[in-house]
């Protein structure tokens, strides 16, 4: 497990971040918000606000990660950061996040010719199909289905009730108008350090593979159809739907409940707003929103 209930010293946090500690070295017991701060708490302040100074004066026995504007103005222990929220997240991951114990639950089912890396975790009632590859230190939570031939990289997290690699929705009508299923012979390839939320579905490719790049983060209840490519470090938020053969660039954000039409390309470093319906391809570096999507501005 992680150090959720163990104290870490403020100096240890500063050293881990490669920064100086200002003030007294003290035990840090628990991360908390400023509104619910406790003695020995760790907080972050991402923007300078003079009204917060009086609140901080009431909490001298805490440690804070703050912007440079706070230097010399607060009496608690603190670390100066250009991005306090990011450094706070790094500290939480390092010192306060419980770690799943590697192993396969008794109720999990593992298919034939499965390759499992070191320190893999597979939760209760999860099903791993035949010829699946799962990289080192990847965690598969409970009631997950990983279909045949899926490849998952290292340091990934697949949350509960997610389905990866089942056939997509592909049909062609015959002479009588009866829908005939098109067999899906591709697979899903997921890169390293990818997170996939609960109750998300990623279909397998028809002939080509579905590819999810390194460091992609996918929220709960997202649907990704067949033959989709998602570039590295992109983020896809809850209830987004990506139709077949869409191509999403790198470092792109797809907002909640947005829809991407089949065959559409969205460039890199784009921001697609909440509920947007993307019916035409978009270039790199745009902010788009609306139904249908329209470009609001260009990212610098």
Domain CATH for 62: 3.40.1390.10
Q: Is the pLDDT of residue 4 over 50?
A: no
207/275 same-domain check: yes
Looking at the fold, whether 86 and 134 belong to one and the same domain comes out as no
Specify whether 218 is located in the same domain as 244: yes
Rounded to an integer, the average pLDDT of 111-127 is 97
What pLDDT sits at residue 1?
A: 27
Q: What is the average pLDDT across 67-81? A: 92
Return the pLDDT at 97: 85
Which percentage of the chain shows pLDDT scores above 90? 85
Residues 134 and 128: beta-carbon distance below 8 Å: yes
53 lies in the same domain as 198: no
pLDDT in tens, 120-136: 999 999 999 999 999 99
226 is a catalytic site residue? yes
What percent of the chain is predicted at pLDDT more than 70? 98
Residues 193, 253, single domain; the answer is yes
Average pLDDT over residues 242-251: 97
pLDDT in tens, 192-221: 999 999 999 999 999 999 999 999 999 999
Q: Is the pLDDT of residue 188 over 60?
A: yes
Task: Say what the pLDDT of residue 147 is.
Answer: 98
Do 140 and 21 lie in one domain? The reply is no
141 and 264 share one domain: yes
Q: State the residue range of the domain holding 158.
A: 103-298
Query: Is 38 a residue whose pLDDT tops 50?
Result: yes
Average pLDDT, the chain: 94
pLDDT, mean of residues 107-123: 97
pLDDT tier for residue 3 given thresholds of 50, 70 and 90: very low
What are the pLDDT digits (tens) for 267-281?
Answer: 999 999 999 999 999
Question: Are residues 79 and 118 part of one domain?
Answer: no
Q: Output the pLDDT for position 6.
A: 64
Domain boundary among 68, 96, 124: 96
Read off the pLDDT of each residue in 54-58 and give the average, rounded to a whole number. 81
On whether both 128 and 232 belong to a single domain, the answer is yes
Q: Domain containing 234 — which CATH number?
A: 2.160.10.10
Q: Of residues 59, 143, 184, 226, which has the active-site annotation? A: 226
Q: Given the structure tokens 């067949």, which residue do they identify?
A: 226
Q: Are residues 90 and 112 in the same domain?
A: no
In the chain, the number of structural domains is: 2
Q: Are residues 109 and 248 in the same domain?
A: yes
Same domain, 80 and 197: no
Mean pLDDT of 38-66: 88
| Domain end point (choices 53, 69, 96) | 96
Decide: pTM greater than 0.85.
yes
Is 1 domain-assigned?
Answer: no
Among residues 96, 113, 145, which one ends one of the domains? 96
């Amino acid at each position: 497990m992680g150090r959720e209930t163990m104290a870490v010293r403020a100096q240890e946090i500063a050293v881990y971040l490669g920064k100086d500690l200002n003030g007294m070295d003290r035990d840090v017991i628990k991360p908390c918000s400023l509104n619910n701060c406790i003695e020995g708490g760790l907080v972050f302040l991402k923007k300078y606000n003079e009204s917060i100074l009086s609140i901080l004066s009431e909490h001298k026995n805490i440690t804070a990660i703050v912007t440079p504007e706070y230097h010399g103005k607060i009496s608690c222990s603190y670390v100066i950061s250009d991005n306090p929220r990011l450094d706070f997240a790094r500290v939480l991951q390092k010192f306060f996040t419980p770690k799943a114990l590697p192993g396969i639950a008794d109720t999990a089912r593992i298919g034939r010719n499965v390759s499992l890396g070191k320190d893999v975790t597979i939760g209760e009632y999860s099903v791993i199909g035949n010829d699946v590859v799962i990289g080192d230190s990847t965690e598969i939570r409970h009631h997950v289905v990983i279909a045949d031939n899926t490849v998952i990289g290292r340091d990934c997290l697949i949350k509960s009730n997610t389905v990866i690699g089942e056939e997509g929705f592909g049909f062609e009508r015959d002479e009588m108008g009866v829908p005939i299923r098109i067999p899906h012979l591709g697979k899903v390839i997921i890169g390293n350090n990818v997170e996939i939320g609960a109750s998300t579905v990623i279909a397998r490719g028809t002939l080509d593979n579905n590819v999810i790049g390194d460091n992609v983060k996918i929220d709960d209840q997202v649907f990704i159809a067949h033959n989709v490519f998602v570039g590295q470090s992109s983020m896809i938020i809850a209830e987004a739907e990506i139709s077949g053969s869409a191509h999403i660039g790198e470092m792109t954000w797809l907002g909640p409940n947005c829809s991407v039409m089949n065959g559409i390309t969205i460039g890199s470093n784009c921001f697609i707003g909440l509920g947007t319906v993307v019916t035409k391809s978009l270039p790199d570096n745009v902010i788009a929103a609306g139904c249908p999507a329209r470009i609001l501005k260009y990212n610098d």
